[in-house]
Chain A
């Protein structure tokens, strides 16, 4: 058995170090370390409740709208208000812009460049991968960055600027959209659709989101294997064995997202889990969430009946650094649902929603690198048409924001879905000030350390079995697995 310490990881947002125990050419155990701590939960303590909306987007510069939405929703829960339909649509449009742009950035700028590495020089597709995705020269990467920049101009209008948009309030959006702006935003969505249909899919969004079986997917691929970047990815995935690489815990969480005026969610909430006889989706129970800090450089909760520190629900969560704690190896806590390890992200959203292709692919391969990337691509095809509908549903002249006076005491929970998974904020207010603010970010779930029982987190489990080639000090398979989760470490180490 030998030990490898891999870092700095790049093309993830923030800092990450992974310690691998390697034997017989494969990873036997992994320890995931988030080596930076910023302390937002401490920073927020004692602040005026509404001021949280200035701080929380600044937890993360890649999913700052998601943080805003979670924060505003927690304050809305505290105040007992709901944004009017126009406000909901505007916020959904902002959140979807960020989520989809994240998927685009992830695919082109973070994930695909790994196929340009010299380790793949003997593969027949290597030259084409370099032509498309080499970071500074790849033709597709450069086009994708341009498309991303254009996509974020939606937020120039809808939210003033991105990141660190502050137009999202508990009562709605501070930026009303007029009829002429609605038309211009529609043109921008059409432009984005054109990029996806011409470059990523080489097909219509409706055809792609309608793919409903593995056989259908591979038929779609075989018809034009070089056309579009998703088909090209499938070619690479088949050749490099990504279907069976990076198997998660087999349990996936989604808070659901994009609330509609009729009270439903455009993407549903739930917990999907693999069972011997097939998968099932359980109802989401936010009260079943807890965070275990036994292996984190943070103070643990009070001792339970058996002497071990108990994992705490975010309402009573603690965030106090304990940098000298023995046996700790990361700043990340270990969130658990009903005491169990879960994975979160686009794959979880698609499984909970019952997307037939994703369900079949996971039934055959498990939650793996291939299915994670595929679920993101399908979400791009699925959500952009929803954005077109929400934009059309905006009624210029009607309210975008309603008053939301905050009570001096109480508590509120704000749940949403960021690109990379379930994001929750829990706020407790006393005398108008924040008495406790707890944040559980998507990467906190996926990159969690071991808990009190020694059970590894989702990525720690997914890395076991990853091949390590002779002489590799930064194994490429490990990089594929890590990046398949699209980690956002700065969120994790809030």
Chain B
């Protein structure tokens, strides 16, 4: 399977993240998955005229294109001209290149939340009229339109995340190269289900604090980040605490809230990112698959049963209380 990677209106962070894939031989793993890189802006030798020739051949259909990866939002402004992002050396807006290439590609992939939904590039007043390939936040449409299907019959595959995890990208590409990713393997937002069927909450190291509603109240505290610090891990689709980042990390392990970066519209939560919005002292964003009343009842109960150890440690940046040593064997 050959692969063309272009960067639209983003920060390049998904490419840089990709290079952090856990392997001693980055290029070797692509070859092992039968993936041939036609061109990537950070990683290829070809430059200038050589690249333009390649892009032209892909757009004309003279060069078959199996997978088109787009990183970054599609900048439609100003006034629909696309001039906020002109592909260097061509005088042609990137959105026009993407439309032409997508029409030829067997698979089209949105790498990262900017390419999927617009993401951070579409935040605030969205000065560049940024959108995703096939979504604008959670609304289907985007640059290519809700009806778009690539030559394989699949919609744009949204490998959302800000940045996206290197292995979400590599696993998706490897599955496509092996012809083992079908429509049923995508969730309702066209994200690969192998990571989107999990919640960030799963595998979170703060789960004991969560169980007892022993909460962090300030940055660097060890407690659960959900009640006060804006964490959305119980609602957000991604396996960040199971498939770790950069060896052994995740946002919650790093001491900061999950801001839902794999979800459409995460860039405008309507509240301070690091503060949990509440009504009458109760967080609004409770886990979606349990009745709210039950959650509140259980939270009150577990708070009253919180061990001193857990309560004390929750508001410190290192363990103040260690689990007690038992003199007798565990029963």
Q: What is A's interface to B at a CB cutoff of 8 Å?
A: 5-11, 13-17, 33, 35-39, 42-48, 50-51, 53-55, 58-62, 64, 105, 109-110, 113, 116-117, 134-137, 142, 145-146, 148-149, 152-153, 155-157, 159-167, 169, 171-176, 178, 321, 323, 396-397, 399-401, 403, 473-474, 479, 490
A8 near B13: Cβ-Cβ < 8 Å: no
B281, CB-defined interface residue at 8 Å: no
Q: Which of A9, A55, A172 sits near B120, CB closer than 8 Å?
A: A55
| Interfacial chain A residues near B323, Cβ < 8 Å | none
Chain-A contact segment, one of B62-70, B134-142, B175-183, B242-250:
B242-250
Q: How far is the CA of A11 from the CA of B39 in the complex (A)?
A: 11
Q: How far is the CA of A171 from the CA of B20 in the complex (A)?
A: 28
Q: How far is the CA of A145 from the CA of B247 in the complex (A)?
A: 15
Q: How far is the CA of A106 from the CA of B13 in the complex (A)?
A: 15
- Rounded to whole Å, the gap between the CB of A15 and the closest CB of chain B is 5
B7, CB-defined interface residue at 8 Å: yes
Q: How far is the CA of A293 from the CA of B139 in the complex (A)?
A: 37
| Interfacial chain A residues near B90, Cβ < 8 Å | 7-8
Residue of A nearest to B73 (CB): A38
| Interfacial chain A residues near B246, Cβ < 8 Å | 152-153, 155-156, 161-162
| Interfacial chain B residues near A33, Cβ < 8 Å | 88
Q: How far is the CA of A448 from the CA of B301 in the complex (A)?
A: 61
Q: Which of A7, A146, A159 sits near B25, CB closer than 8 Å?
A: A146
Q: How far is the CA of A136 from the CA of B28 in the complex (A)?
A: 8
B325, CB-defined interface residue at 8 Å: no
Q: Which of B22, B81, B125, B254 sits near A175, CB closer than 8 Å?
A: B254
| Interfacial chain B residues near A37, Cβ < 8 Å | 75, 84-85, 128
Q: How far is the CA of A173 from the CA of B245 in the complex (A)?
A: 18
B248 near A157: Cβ-Cβ < 8 Å: yes
Q: What is B's interface to A at a CB cutoff of 8 Å?
A: 7, 9-17, 19-28, 37, 39, 41-52, 75, 78, 81, 83-90, 94, 120-121, 123-128, 130, 162-163, 218-220, 244-256, 259, 261, 272-274, 317-318
| Interfacial chain B residues near A397, Cβ < 8 Å | 318
Q: How far is the CA of A105 from the CA of B20 in the complex (A)?
A: 12
Q: A38-B130, A54-B259 are in contact. List 14 more A-B contacts (CB 8 A).
A: A8-B90, A38-B84, A60-B11, A61-B11, A135-B43, A137-B27, A142-B25, A152-B246, A160-B253, A161-B245, A161-B254, A169-B220, A178-B318, A490-B12
Given A15-B85, A55-B123, A149-B22: A8 touches B220 (CB 8 Å cut-off)? no
- Rounded to whole Å, the gap between the CB of B296 and the closest CB of chain A is 28
A61 near B10: Cβ-Cβ < 8 Å: yes
A157 near B220: Cβ-Cβ < 8 Å: no
A160 near B256: Cβ-Cβ < 8 Å: yes
Q: Which of A55, A149, A152, A163 sits near B23, CB closer than 8 Å?
A: A149
B255 near A167: Cβ-Cβ < 8 Å: yes
- Rounded to whole Å, the gap between the CB of A199 and the closest CB of chain B is 14
| Interfacial chain B residues near A149, Cβ < 8 Å | 19-23, 26
A60 near B12: Cβ-Cβ < 8 Å: yes
Q: How far is the CA of A451 from the CA of B2 in the complex (A)?
A: 44
| Of A17, A61, A169, most B-chain CB atoms within 10 Å | A61
Residue of A nearest to B271 (CB): A48
B125 near A42: Cβ-Cβ < 8 Å: yes
Q: How far is the CA of A176 from the CA of B28 in the complex (A)?
A: 36
B23 near A146: Cβ-Cβ < 8 Å: yes
| Interfacial chain A residues near B50, Cβ < 8 Å | 474
- Rounded to whole Å, the gap between the CB of A465 and the closest CB of chain B is 20
Q: Which of A14, A172, A174 sits near B256, CB closer than 8 Å?
A: A174
- Rounded to whole Å, the gap between the CB of B32 and the closest CB of chain A is 13
Given A61-B13, A490-B11: A43 touches B127 (CB 8 Å cut-off)? yes
Residue of A nearest to B216 (CB): A174
A473 near B48: Cβ-Cβ < 8 Å: yes
Residue of A nearest to B16 (CB): A61
Q: How far is the CA of A163 from the CA of B24 in the complex (A)?
A: 20
| Interfacial chain A residues near B7, Cβ < 8 Å | 14-15
- Rounded to whole Å, the gap between the CB of B242 and the closest CB of chain A is 14
Given A109-B42, A157-B247, A178-B318: A163 touches B84 (CB 8 Å cut-off)? no
- Rounded to whole Å, the gap between the CB of B318 and the closest CB of chain A is 5
Given A38-B121, A152-B246, A159-B249: A167 touches B9 (CB 8 Å cut-off)? no
Q: Which of B10, B12, B49, B89 sits near A17, CB closer than 8 Å?
A: B89
| Interfacial chain A residues near B162, Cβ < 8 Å | 58, 164
A142 near B28: Cβ-Cβ < 8 Å: yes
Residue of B nearest to A51 (CB): B273
- Rounded to whole Å, the gap between the CB of A35 and the closest CB of chain B is 4
Q: How far is the CA of A16 from the CA of B89 in the complex (A)?
A: 8
| Interfacial chain A residues near B39, Cβ < 8 Å | 10
| Interfacial chain B residues near A156, Cβ < 8 Å | 244-249
B317 near A162: Cβ-Cβ < 8 Å: no
- Rounded to whole Å, the gap between the CB of A136 and the closest CB of chain B is 5
B124 near A11: Cβ-Cβ < 8 Å: no
A5 near B318: Cβ-Cβ < 8 Å: no
Q: How far is the CA of A350 from the CA of B317 in the complex (A)?
A: 37
B85 near A160: Cβ-Cβ < 8 Å: no
A-B CB contact pairs (8 Å), 25 listed = A8-B48, A8-B51, A13-B16, A15-B87, A33-B88, A38-B9, A38-B75, A42-B124, A43-B120, A43-B126, A44-B124, A46-B124, A58-B13, A60-B13, A61-B11, A109-B43, A142-B26, A153-B246, A160-B245, A160-B250, A166-B251, A166-B256, A175-B254, A401-B218, A474-B50
| Interfacial chain B residues near A45, Cβ < 8 Å | 124-125
Residue of B nearest to A148 (CB): B19
Residue of A nearest to B120 (CB): A58
B20 near A8: Cβ-Cβ < 8 Å: no
Q: Which of B9, B20, B89 sits near A7, CB closer than 8 Å?
A: B89
B26 near A321: Cβ-Cβ < 8 Å: no
| Interfacial chain B residues near A48, Cβ < 8 Å | 272
| Interfacial chain B residues near A171, Cβ < 8 Å | 219
Q: How far is the CA of A60 from the CA of B15 in the complex (A)?
A: 11
Q: How far is the CA of A162 from the CA of B121 in the complex (A)?
A: 19
Given A43-B127, A145-B26, A156-B244: A61 touches B17 (CB 8 Å cut-off)? yes
Given A50-B272, A160-B250: A10 touches B47 (CB 8 Å cut-off)? yes
Given A11-B42, A142-B26, A160-B251: A5 touches B89 (CB 8 Å cut-off)? yes
Given A109-B42, A149-B21: A173 touches B253 (CB 8 Å cut-off)? no
| Interfacial chain A residues near B250, Cβ < 8 Å | 160-161
Residue of B nearest to A98 (CB): B16
Residue of B nearest to A64 (CB): B13
| Interfacial chain B residues near A136, Cβ < 8 Å | 27, 37, 43
- Rounded to whole Å, the gap between the CB of A258 and the closest CB of chain B is 21
A145 near B19: Cβ-Cβ < 8 Å: yes
Q: Which of B19, B20, B28, B45 sits near A117, CB closer than 8 Å?
A: B45
- Rounded to whole Å, the gap between the CB of A93 and the closest CB of chain B is 14
| Interfacial chain B residues near A113, Cβ < 8 Å | 45
A474 near B48: Cβ-Cβ < 8 Å: yes
- Rounded to whole Å, the gap between the CB of A100 and the closest CB of chain B is 15
- Rounded to whole Å, the gap between the CB of B130 and the closest CB of chain A is 8
| Of A11, A46, A172, most B-chain CB atoms within 10 Å | A11
A163 near B254: Cβ-Cβ < 8 Å: no
- Rounded to whole Å, the gap between the CB of B5 and the closest CB of chain A is 11
| Interfacial chain A residues near B42, Cβ < 8 Å | 10-11, 13, 109-110
